[in-house]
Amino acid sequence: MWLRGLAPSVGTVISVICAAQVLAVSSATEPEHVSRETRNVAIIGAGAAGASTAYYLRKYAEEHDLAINITVFEKTDRIGGRTLTINPFDINGPSESVELGASIFIKLNAILYNATREFGLETTTREQDGVGGILAFWDGDKIRFDIDGSHSAWRTAARLAWRYGYYALKNSQALMHKTVGKFLNLYEPPYFPFKSLTQRTYELELLEETSLTGEEFLRKNKIPDLLSHEFIQALTRVNYASNLAHIHGLETMVSTAPEGAMSVVGGNWRIFDKMVQASGATLRANTSVAYIDLEKQDSKPPKYILKTQSSSDYGAMEETQDIAFDDVVVATPYQFSKISTAGGLLENTIDEIPYIKLHVTIFSSPFPLSAAYFKVAPPKVPTTVLTTLADGESPLDGVQGAGKAGFYSISTLRLVLNPKTGKIEYLYKIFSPEKVTPEFLSALFGVKVPDSFVGEILQDDADAKAVEPISWYYPHVFHSYPKGFPRITFQDPVIGDGLYYTSGMESFISTMETNALMGKNVARLIVDSLLGVDTEEAAVIEDLGYERGQSVLQEL
Ligand SMILES: Cc1cc2nc3c(=O)[nH]c(=O)nc-3n(C[C@H](O)[C@H](O)[C@H](O)COP(=O)(O)OP(=O)(O)OC[C@H]3O[C@@H](n4cnc5c(N)ncnc54)[C@H](O)[C@@H]3O)c2cc1C
Ligand SMILES: *[C@@H]1O[C@H](CO)[C@@H](O)[C@H](O)[C@H]1NC(C)=O
Ligand SMILES: *[C@@H]1O[C@H](CO)[C@@H](O)[C@H](O)[C@H]1NC(C)=O
Ligand SMILES: *[C@@H]1O[C@H](CO)[C@@H](O)[C@H](O)[C@H]1NC(C)=O
């Protein structure tokens, strides 16, 4: 649902007017006997999913006049998880920060978008637009197509149509809208809330999207190979570090939906920070949950005791929390959480799923990208490069998946002032499957980048006046999102009696919004169980009503 670093005109060209109306969630009818005892809920993880769980729990609790006491446990000392910013040259200030993780969401992402409005958070299109200039599609051999941000939308549309065909573009947009339209039903009754994402995938007829690779799905829907391999694959690579043969159709379609992309000034994590604040939760930062235990054997309903480890003490102090929780929400990928549970506590085992290891490297340089490297004449030097495979290259998976290009994308985020030289420089971001090397950077900029400039955050340098090809450098590795292999089942959000899990959403669609939606879903399930409302397990709807998410296509 986002597209990083594209020139504004692309957004316009492939943009659409979405008439999708996300209807208000009608609340369950209140039963007569509602427990007035305080319900203690623990949320493990303060990323998009955990923050949204806390926020909606409070909202629903207020709507139904329920006493809910929320405690959020967060391993690190900040809120946001994979949504975080860094500050180039360590200069503070919200307008200085850049997104290291999740950078963009779209207007259709109603939970995030509404939250920015409710909390008065200013949004910007800067992360998306970068410095404008030329967006190139590079296959490691040559630039196959480019889009010049200074051209009119009309001219760009004409070039796109000439290259890929007017109907091919239009059909791929229509396909994206059909898929997104189906997905949007998940926000509303009778599809919301849900105890089984697998079942909803089936009911919403999204199985074709999730069970086929992007390549198969596009081919089946008669999208021409050139558009798929050159353009759409560049989008799945920048969004999910995957070639079309290794990502399912749903995440493929999500990757092509960029309209109205934005981010929050000062960092998208602010949304989640505000959500936690608004929830009135007790935040236990620097506290990792290590163990979930039953308070008493055989008590019905069960209550849970958490054992935590404080990460601010180097001795890793262990602590047993003295309150018993009625509900526990695991809002982080279980396999990386280092949480264990008492035997038999999980009714559904949480399968380990392969995640992508993504290197994100942000750095500044006084040099533009090298024209020679991209084999173009200087005025045509790209500012943002998306990559695809060269003709005849096999679409591999994992580290080899980047192919000849060796990286997924490079974007010029913006201009920055180097405080050491007083000069304006470029701020770049590279997504790659492996560490960026000095050899690669030397070739990319056409200047010798010494080994010493790579591998650590640069400290103040005695020789500050020399022109450093890389003047500030910040490498980071993420378990960014799951590999989007085709699948037909998804981890359920209910993992035990009063135990919930949000990250099953990630192999369906991994975004801030979808994880926040899963958090909201879990909040609703908890409140419904408190109210004694049995969440409809089987929503049998005759007409699947895609119309709700149906969109009006803008003429190209
Ligand atoms: C480089 C990159 C770019 C991305 N770009 C985008 C984008 O542009 N748009 C978009 O929508 N999405 C993007 N994503 C995906 C998005 O970041 C994730 O889908 C989303 O942020 C996940 O949220 P979450 O709350 O489920 O998990 P997380 O953000 O991972 O939050 C989990 C939290 O749990 C904490 N935790 C873990 N274990 C424990 C424990 N034992 N005890 C206590 N706390 C614990 C962690 O510290 C963390 O804060 C990107 C991801 C990456 C890595
Ligand atoms: C977002 O706000 C709109 C307009 O107020 C509202 O109709 C919609 O239900 C909200 N959606 C969500 C998910 O909060
Ligand atoms: C609410 O939770 C906090 C721990 O986060 C605990 O200290 C407090 O006693 C709880 N309040 C009630 C009413 O249970
Ligand atoms: C968390 O730990 C860091 C580093 O040890 C410390 O600076 C910070 O104050 C701690 N935060 C909280 C809320 O305990």
pLDDT digits (tens, 9 = 90+) for 307-339: 999 876 565 678 888 899 999 999 999 999 999
Q: Is 286 in the pocket of ligand 4 (CB under 6 A)?
A: yes
Once rounded to an integer, what is the mean pLDDT over residues 395-423? 94
**What's the 244 CA to ligand 4 centre distance in angstroms?**
42
Q: Is the pLDDT of residue 172 over 90?
A: yes
Per the omega criterion (within 30 degrees of 0), is the bond before 8 cis? no
pLDDT at 2 over 50: no
Give the DSSP H/E element, type plus range, for residue 334: helix 334-337
pLDDT higher than 90, residue 29: no
Q: Residue 508 carries which DSSP code? A: T
Percent of the chain with pLDDT over 70: 85
**With bands split at pLDDT 50, 70 and 90, how would you rate the model's confidence at 348?**
confident
Q: Going by CA atoms, what residue is nearest to atom 5 of ligand 3?
A: 71
> Class of 126-259+354-484 per CATH?
alpha beta
Give the mutation target among 82, 360, 515 for probing the ligand 1 site: most ligand atoms within 8 A of CB: 82
Q: What is the pLDDT of residue 533?
A: 87
> d(Cα 27, Cα 258) in Å, to the nearest integer?
31
Strands 68-73 and 282-284: parallel
What's the pLDDT tens digit per position in 428-481?
Answer: 999 999 999 999 999 999 999 888 765 444 445 544 445 689 999 999 999 999
**Residue 258 and residue 232: Cα distance in Å, rounded?**
12
- DSSP bridge pairs for 365: 426
Q: Which helix (H) or strand (E) holds 330?
A: strand 327-330
Q: Report the atom number in ligand 2 closest to the C-alpha of 25.
A: 9
Contact (CB, 8 A) for 259 and 109:
no
Give the pLDDT of residue 128: 67
Could you tell me the distance, in angstroms and rounded to a whole number, from the CA of residue 80 to the centre of ligand 2?
22
Q: Is the pLDDT of residue 106 over 50?
A: yes
For residue 324 and ligand 3, the question of a CB distance below 6 A is answered with no
CA pair distance 457, 440, nearest whole angstrom: 18
Least confident range from 102-106, 138-142, 341-345, 358-362: namely 341-345
Could you tell me which residues are beta bridge partners of residue 358?
Answer: 478
Q: Is 61 in the pocket of ligand 2 (CB under 6 A)?
A: no
Sign of the torsion angle spanned by Cα atoms 3, 219, 401, 390 = negative
| Ligand 2: nearest atom to the Cα of 24 | 9
Range 314-336 burial, b when 16+ CB lie within 10 A, else e:
eeeeeeebebbbbbbbbbbbbee
Ligand 3 centroid, distance to 54 Cα (angstroms): 15
How far is 122 from 265, CA to CA, in rounded Å?
6
The alpha carbon of 64 and the centre of ligand 3 are apart by a number of angstroms equal to 20
Mean pLDDT, rounded, of the chain = 87
Please, what sign has the CA dihedral across residues 124, 130, 133, 134? Answer: negative
Show the ligand 1 pocket: residues with CB < 6 angstroms: 2, 44-50, 73-76, 81-83, 101-105, 288-289, 331-332, 337-339, 358, 360, 478, 480-481, 502-503, 510-513, 515
Question: String of b and e for 38-76 (b: at least 16 CB within 10 Å)?
Answer: ebbbbbbbbbbbbbbbbbbbbbbbeebebebbbbbbbbb
- Is any atom of ligand 2 closer than 6 Å to the C-beta of 111? yes
For the CA of 284, the closest atom of ligand 3 is 5
- Is any ligand 3 atom within 6 A of the Cβ of residue 69? yes
The residue whose CA is least distant from atom 9 of ligand 4 is 77
Query: How much is the pLDDT for 378?
Result: 86
pLDDT score recorded for residue 321? 86
Q: How many CB atoms lie within 10 A of CB 425?
A: 22
Pocket of ligand 3, candidates 36, 68, 71: which has the most ligand atoms within 8 Å of its Cβ, to mutate?
Answer: 71
205 vs 534, higher pLDDT: 205
Cα–Cα distance between 338 and 360 in angstroms, integer?
A: 24
pTM: 0.91
pLDDT in tens, 30-79: 444 455 689 999 999 999 999 999 999 999 999 999 999 999 999 999 99
- What does the pLDDT look like over 243-258, one tens digit per residue? 999 999 999 999 998 6
Question: Ligand 4 in contact with 150 (CB < 6 A)?
Answer: no
Question: Is residue 26 predicted with pLDDT exceeding 70?
Answer: no
Distance 531 CA to ligand 4 centre (A): 38
Burial class (CB in 10 A: 0-12, 13-18, 19+), 246: buried
